[in-house]
Structures are given as structure tokens and as C-alpha cells.
Amino acid sequence: MMTPSKYFVGGAITLTAQFTGSDGNLADPTTVVLKLKAPHGKLLTYTYGTDANVSKASTGNYEAIVTPDCAGRWFTRWEGTDALGNVLPIEDFIAVQRSRFLHGPDCYWDYL
């Protein structure tokens, strides 16, 4: 999904997804949605064609630029829906570290 790296609060992160058809070739789903679940449980949803931060890089390849606002483990789920309505999920997670330069909310306590 991504090249291993360190991710920090307030830093832009590019998430990628690659979708293939039943023949194994790259293919575009009918709809593409990215869901992010923050460490405190808040769910963010971005849709290709609606949200500017989700774009199509090439056939079957999509990317989104997101900026985490707090440290912790963020879960990612790309959902591609085919013409028959089948959902093709791709799940992963990223670990976001606290920044020594930015003071934002603590994902675990400020939202309880």
C-alpha cells in the first residue's frame, strides 16, 4: 500500500490502492471509497469523484492525500464496487507519531 516510512501528526500522507478485475488485469471499479478510522474511533469517508483529495492515477490505481490530526494507529479501508455491486475491500493501517512541533488533540483522551 505504501512505502515504509515514519508518519507524523500534521504531515500529508499519500495512500494508494490498486484494483483488478476477475481476469487479473487492472480495472476501474464503478465506485471507489476510502474510509479512515482514527485511533479514537472517528470514521472519515472520502469518495472518488466527490472529494478532491481522492484521485485516479491510472487505470485501476487510486490515491488519496490525508493529513492525520492526532497520533496513533489509523486503519484504512479502500472499497471498490464493481458493476454487479460486489465490494472489493483493501485494508491496512498506518502508525502516526506525535510531532514535537505541533500540539493537537490526543486521539485517545480528547474524544472520550
Would you say 70 and 30 are in contact if contact means Cβ atoms under 8 Å apart? no
Q: Domain spans of the chain?
A: 7-97
Per-residue model confidence as pLDDT tens digits over 11-59: 999 999 999 988 999 999 999 999 999 998 999 999 999 999 999 999 9
Q: What is the pTM of this model?
A: 0.85
Q: How far is the C-alpha of 39 from the C-alpha of 25, rounded, in Å? A: 35
The CATH code of the domain at 7-97 is 2.60.40.1930
Tell me the pLDDT tens digit for each residue of 74-109. 999 999 999 899 999 999 999 999 877 766 555 654
